[in-house]
Amino acid sequence: MTDSAALLNKHSFVELGARQRAKALLDAGSFRELLDPFQRVMSPWLERQGVVPQADDGVVIAKGSLDGLPVVIAAIEGAFQGGSLGEVGGAKIAGALELAAEDNRKGIATRAILLLETGGVRLQEANLGLAAIADIHAAIVDLQQYQPVVGVVAGSVGCFGGMSIAAGLCSYLLVTQEARLGLNGPQVIEQEAGIEEYDSRDRPFIWSLTGGEQRFASGLVDRYVADDVAQIRDQVGELLQQGLPPQPRSQRAEWFLQRLAGLETGPQIEPSMVRDLYQGERS
Amino acid sequence: METLSFEFPAGQPPRGRALVGCVGSGDLEVLIEPGLAGRLTINVQTSVNGSEQRWQHLFARMFDGTTPPAMSIDIHDFGATPGVVRLRLEQGFEEIGHD
Amino acid sequence: MSGYSLRGLNWFNALSAGAKALDGLPPSLRVADVALGRLLAVVADPDNRFPRARNGEVGLLEGWGLAKAVDDAISADREQTHKRPLIAIVDVPSQAYGRREEALGIHQALAGAADAYARARLAGHPVIALLVGKAMSGAFLAHGYQANRLIALRDPGVMVHAMGKASAARVTLRSVEELEALASSVPPMAYDIDSYASLGLLWETLSVQQIEQPTAEDLARVTECLKQAIGDVSSGDLSNRLGATNRAASSRVRELLRAQW
pLDDT digits (tens, 9 = 90+) for C21-33: 999 999 999 999 9
Q: Is the pLDDT of residue C1 over 60?
A: no
CB atoms under 10 Å from CB of C242, counted, come to 16
Cis peptide before A156 (omega within 30 of 0): yes
Helices and strands (H and E) in chain C: how many:
10, 7
C86 neighbors C71 (Cβ within 8 angstroms): no
Among candidates B22, B74, B77 on the partner chain, residue whose Cβ is nearest the Cβ of A79: B22
The DSSP H or E segment spanning B72 is strand B71-77
Distance (Å, rounded) from C-alpha C260 to C-alpha A32? 10
The DSSP H or E segment spanning C120 is helix C106-122
Please give the residue of chain A at the shortest CA–CA distance from C192: A127
Q: Is A74 on the interface with C (CB under 8 A)?
A: no
* pLDDT of amino acid C168: 81
Distance (Å, rounded) from C-alpha A79 to C-alpha A66? 26
Among candidates A38, A40, A52 on the partner chain, residue whose Cβ is nearest the Cβ of B46: A52
How much is the mean pLDDT over chain C? 95
Chains A and B touch (3+ CB pairs under 8 A): yes
* pLDDT of amino acid A283: 40
C76 neighbors C119 (Cβ within 8 angstroms): no
- Helix C106-122 with A162-169: angle, nearest 10 deg: 70
The answer for A 177-206 residues in CB contact with C (under 8 A) is 181-185, 187-189, 191-193, 197-198
The pLDDT tens digits for C104-150 are: 999 999 999 999 999 999 999 999 999 999 999 999 999 999 999 99
| pTM summary value | 0.97
Distance (Å, rounded) from C-alpha A215 to C-alpha A180? 8
Q: Is C72 on the interface with A (CB under 8 A)?
A: no
Q: Is the pLDDT of residue C91 over 70?
A: yes
* pLDDT of amino acid C165: 83
Q: Which residues of B11-40 are buried (b: 16+ CB within 10 A; e: fewer)?
A: eebbeebbbbbbbbeebbbbbbbbbeeeeb
Q: Which residues in C lie closer than 8 A to residue A120 (C-beta atoms)?
A: 162
Q: Is residue C169 helix, strand or coil? A: helix
Q: Is the pLDDT of residue C79 over 90?
A: yes
Cβ A192–C99 below 8 Å, yes or no? no
Q: Which residues of A263-278 are buried (b: 16+ CB within 10 A; e: fewer)?
A: beeeeebebebbeebb
The DSSP H or E segment spanning A126 is helix A126-143
Choose the weakest-confidence range: A185-194, C82-91, C168-177: C168-177
Chain centroid, CA C15 distance in Å: 16
Cβ C107–A167 below 8 Å, yes or no? yes
* pLDDT of amino acid A119: 95
Choose the weakest-confidence range: A20-24, A278-282, C162-166: A278-282
User: What's the one-letter identity of residue A215?
Assistant: R
Alpha carbon of B45: minimum distance to chain A alpha carbons (Å): 6
B71-77 vs B39-46, strand pairing mode: parallel
What does the CA dihedral A40, A44, A50, A53 come to, rounded to 10 degrees?
A: -30
Nearest to residue A181, comparing CAs of A223, A231, A138?
A: A223
